Structure 1
Amino acid sequence: MRLVVVGNGMAGSRLVSEVRARDPRIDVTVLGAETCPPYNRVLLSNVLAGNTRPEQVRLLDPSWYGTHRVRAVFGSPVELIDRDTRTVLTADGRREPYDVLVLATGSEAVVPPIPGVERAIPFRTLGDCRRILAAAERSRRAVVIGGGLLGVEAARGLAGRGLPVTLLHLAGHLMERQLDVEAGEVLGETLAGLGVETRTGVAAEAVLEEGVRLAGGELVEGDLVVLACGVRPVTGLAADAGLEVRRGVVVDDELRTDDPAIFAIGECAEHDGTVYGLVAPAWEQAAVAAAVITGGKLLYRGSRLVTRLKATSVELAAMGETQLTEEHAEVVRFSHRARGTYRKLVIRDGRLVGAILLGESDAVGTLTQLFDRGGPVPGDRAGLLFPGLSAAPVADSPTLMPDAAKVCQCNNVTKGEIRACWEAGARDVPGIAAGTRATTGCGSCRDAVAGLVGWLCEQEGVPA
């Protein structure tokens, strides 16, 4: 079988590694538009903030491809899919025949059609990140356009480098897809204490040399302008090939398009009416597609989304249906704005269907497990929001966590898998990461994994 993968980002590189782990015989070629090896896009905000070096976000070392007999071509975007001859054509004239084709083309930054926008730098790729860092060295003030997840992370990262930052957002509050109004306001107040001025309900009209002009004529000064206006799936290749495309490339439960020889995964794929923009669904889809391609039986039934903000000194997790009100669900909330704390539970039919946790909280692990597994919510609602006040031990204690409890959301790694890896000889977090991939996504589970390793070592009297 000749497998060709178009796209070597987080979804494409994961699919290639999953296929090779299942079947060493398949002929695999991966074609990437970017000139560098695949990297963890989730951690680019850490690079921007200076907490992580660019080389530390690499997903696969270039030597991996030769060792695993995978042909990898970097800087070779695909321009055409010829479904009649089952061949793809690249911009540099390469023709690659396929028996199975996987589209992992990802998404691209939305660039608003306003005058002077070419002066701004999108925040999407590693190349963009390097351009922003170079510009920041010679800038006095920064403006970030877009107050979604990436915009907040970019603004916090630049502020952490000592630049005064103004964050502009069209909607009435920050991260409106994940947060309700009050949570968005509390987040804005938290950012203000970290050097980020937030302006919501404003529209950028033009990018000038001296900053951004708003609708109405006001000038927001800044010699560095960063765009974080959202992303859109890259679907042109699929559409030109005659595949069904709505918002994304339409796929079924096996991640096949309407051409059974072509699959689509990650941010370019639309499953059951949903396009997922987070890493965990992309990696879940890669595992399903790899299983199907190598002759296995596995179906994708959708993903339960947990969003984690990766910004220094800002703790935020949001999951599920956070916008529901008391008319449609039981809502339990606590707000202490002076301390930047906001916690909200959304419960329907005795199940947790949504939650927001802003500010430092030891409830994240328990609530994530409840949400992910769809289990019944305990009667002590206050104990869920404030585990330390409850007389009962918390569910995410290593002693009480069931082996099926998911510790790493990005890679779908359970406590049982971490225990098994530890029993096989891994005695630290890097060892667990190498054996299970836990902590290699957004990295927010690192403390939990370290805690489990420490607990296992303590239980067995083994030096950590």
Structure 2
Amino acid sequence: MTPRRVVVLGYGMAGARLADEIHRRDPEGERVTLTVLGAERHHAYNRVLLSAVVAGTMRPEAVRLHEHDWAERRGIDLRTGAEATRIDRAARKVLLADGSEVDYDALVLATGAAPWVPPVEGLELGENVLAFRNLDDCARILDAARAGAPVAVLGGGLLGLEAARGLAGRGNLVTVVHPAPHVMERQLDPGAARGLTRKLGELGIDFRIGVGAARYLPGDGLKLDDGSHVQADLVVVSAGVRAETALAAEAGLAVDRGVLVDDALRTSDGRVHAIGDCAQHPGTVSGLVQPAYEQAEVLADLLTGVDTAARYRGTPVVTRLKARGVDLAALGEAQIELTDPDAEVVCFEDPARGRYAKLVLREDRVAGAIVLGLPDAAATITQFYDRRTPVPADRLGLLLGRALPPGVAPATSPADLPASAVVCRCNTVSKARLVDAWRAGATDVAQLATATRATTGCGGCADAVSGIADWLRAQ
């Protein structure tokens, strides 16, 4: 059997994960000949951890997903710094900027998304106006952000707040400018946003909420649309992203906000697929890594023929803020109002201690939640959300992390979780998968991480994985 030529266009988190999943299903390359084309010069890295690089708590090499000889050891044709210029669907070729061509039988678009720069007078990416999107951006930010210097972060979404926290941790005077009524408006309600803003304020971050930037004054800062001014030697732009769809559109593929795909991750051309931030699927929220990883698993099944019935049906989203000193999780229908007649909504607020919790229930099951400053409650509520099991009658106990699903131990004892419990949400790794990897020879946390990718996302599951490893070692 002649292997199919599969070309993955993009070597970010989605493309790298797809390559890993294909190799896991076809380790000898009998079904697939794999080529991965990455526009960046770097090997794949964990974009989730870029705020830690900016904060100085992680070195750039620590966030790499693959070693330098990863592709060679697996027989994968990996080309970094390979910019694609055109897709010739009729000839089934990808044309590269260096004049070379790559033939394909199946093409996967994993081109990700690019930062969006808002239309502000004088604002253009350059020496003192930098995006926060990739590893090179981190290096430029660190070069430009001198200790004690004022920095403006344009955008109070998830990435903007992570960048702001990282820079504040390095000793910069940070002001977040956000035109919406409150920060993280896609994930949080006003009460949670107030609590988060207060907490970040205690960590040295100032906020200008509900006002936008009107003009950039080089060497001075930002003039805002209410007439006020924010002094800044450096402006970090984190105002959102736009899916990279230019190549797809030029090739005649159906494109909306992203490249349109069906449940088999097929575009309007059945030989071309798309995953990650560049893809638009009805069940996907863009900008998060978990949907991309789940799409990679489905597509690897399909491209290798291991499971031709595999389909992607969407991902229940849990958003976590990766900012040192802040514990925040938001999931599902978190924006539902307290007065909604079709849902039971319970809310707890403790401003003095920086705690906020909101629980949205439908038919006694978790439909959404926001949890700030209550990590045990976040872990417990997420378990109920993942398993779709009825919650206990003690709603307040659940909000405070004191109520547990039947047969589930507290978060401090992760080894007692049921086999189906998801331990690492970033990589969709269950306890059962960790146990299987252990039995296959991965007998410490580092080896479990290599075998399953657990702990290599945001790192929030490290204690749980370590606890499971200790439990297995004691058997």
SS for the counterpart of 1:387 is coil
Helix, strand or coil for the counterpart of 1:354? strand
Deviation, 1:139, is 6.2
Alpha-carbon distance, 1:79 to partner: 1.1
CA distance in 2, matches of 1:78, 1:276: 23
Quote the residue 1:117 is aligned against.
Answer: 123
Match of 2:44 in 1: 38
Change (3 A) 1:133 1:399: closer
Q: In the alignment, does 2:205 pair up with 1:196?
A: yes
Contact 2:415-2:464 within 8 A present in 1 as well: no
Are 2:423 and 1:407 equivalent residues in the alignment? yes
Alpha-carbon deviation of 1:186?
0.6
Structure 2 counterpart of 1:372? 386
**Out of 147, 155, 169, which is 1:160 matched to?**
169
Whether 2:14 is the aligned partner of 1:11: answer: yes
Local SS of the residue matching 2:467? helix
* Residues 214 and 222 in structure 2, CA contact (< 8 A), matched pair in contact too: yes
Q: How does 1:312-461 map to 2 (within 5 A)?
A: 312-325=324-337, 326-327=339-340, 328-388=342-402, 394=409, 396=411, 397-398=413-414, 400-458=416-474, 460=475
Deviation at 1:387, TM superposition (A): 3.2
What residue is the counterpart of 1:98 in the other structure? 104
Q: CA deviation at 1:82?
A: 0.7
Distance 2:282 2:349 in 1: 36
Corresponding residue of 1:259: 269
**Structure 1 moving runs of 4+ over 6 Å:** 389-393
Unaligned runs of 5+ in 2: none
Q: What are the equivalent positions in structure 2 for 1:139-150 lying under 5 Å apart?
A: 140-150=149-159
Equivalent residue number for residue 245 of structure 2: 235
Q: Supply the distance in 2 between the matched residues of 1:292 and 1:273 (Cα, whole angstroms).
A: 19
Aligned with 1:426: secondary structure?
coil
Amino acid of the residue matched to residue 186 of structure 2?
Answer: R
1:290 lines up with 2:290 in the alignment: no
Q: Which amino acid aligns with 1:306?
A: V
Determine helix, strand or coil for the equivalent of 1:80: strand
Q: Relative to structure 2, which stretch is displaced further, 277-286 or 434-443?
A: 434-443
What code does the residue aligned with 1:144 have? V
State the superposition RMSD in angstroms. Answer: 1.8
> Alpha-carbon deviation of 1:97?
1.0
Query: What's the offset of the Cα at 1:390?
Result: 8.1
Aligned 1:260-275 pairs, distance under 5 A: 260-272=270-282, 274-275=284-285
Partner-residue secondary structure (3-state), 1:206: strand
TM superposition score normalised by structure 1 = 0.95
TM-superposed CA distance for 1:425, in Å, is 4.0
Residue pair 1:268, 1:275 contacting (<8 A) in 2 also: no
* Aligned residues with identical type, % of pairs: 52
What CA distance in whole angstroms lies between the structure 2 residues aligned with 1:394 and 1:353? Answer: 22
Q: Distance in 2 between matches of 1:262 and 1:59?
A: 25
Return the alpha-carbon distance in structure 2 between the equivalents of residues 37 and 228 of structure 1: 23
**Matching of residue 210 in structure 1 with residue 210 in structure 2:** no
Structure 2 residue aligned with 1:64: 70
Secondary structure in structure 1 of the residue aligned to 2:375: coil
Match of 1:220 in 2: 230
Deviations 1:349-372 (A, max 9, x none): 221010111014212222112112
Corresponding residue number in structure 2 for 1:311: 323
Partner of 1:137: 146
Please report how far the alpha carbon of residue 274 of structure 1 lies from its aligned counterpart in structure 2 after TM superposition: 4.0
Are the structure 2 counterparts of residues 64 and 391 from structure 1 closer, same or farther at C-alpha, using a change threshold of 3 Å? closer
Ranges in structure 1 where 5+ consecutive residues have no aligned partner: none
The count of residues paired between Structure 1 and Structure 2 equals: 459
Q: How does the TM-score come out when normalised to structure 2?
A: 0.93
C-alpha offsets along residues 365-387 of structure 1, whole Å, 9 cap, x if unaligned? 22112112222222221221223
Write the deviation string for residues 261-312 of structure 1: whole angstroms up to 9, x where unpaired. Answer: 0000000011126452111110110111111011122110000101111101
1:79-121 CA distance string (max 9 Å, x none):
1111111111112211111110000000010111222322410
Structure 2 CA distance for partners of 1:391 and 1:212, relative to 1, 3 Å = closer
**Equivalent in the alignment of 1:108:** 114
> What's the CA shift for 1:400?
4.5
> What are the superposed Cα offsets for residues 15-63 of structure 1, whole Å, 9 maximum, x if unpaired?
1121122222322111111111111100001101111000001111221
Q: 1:351 to 1:224 in 2, by over 3 A?
A: same
- Aligned residue for 1:137, secondary structure, equals coil
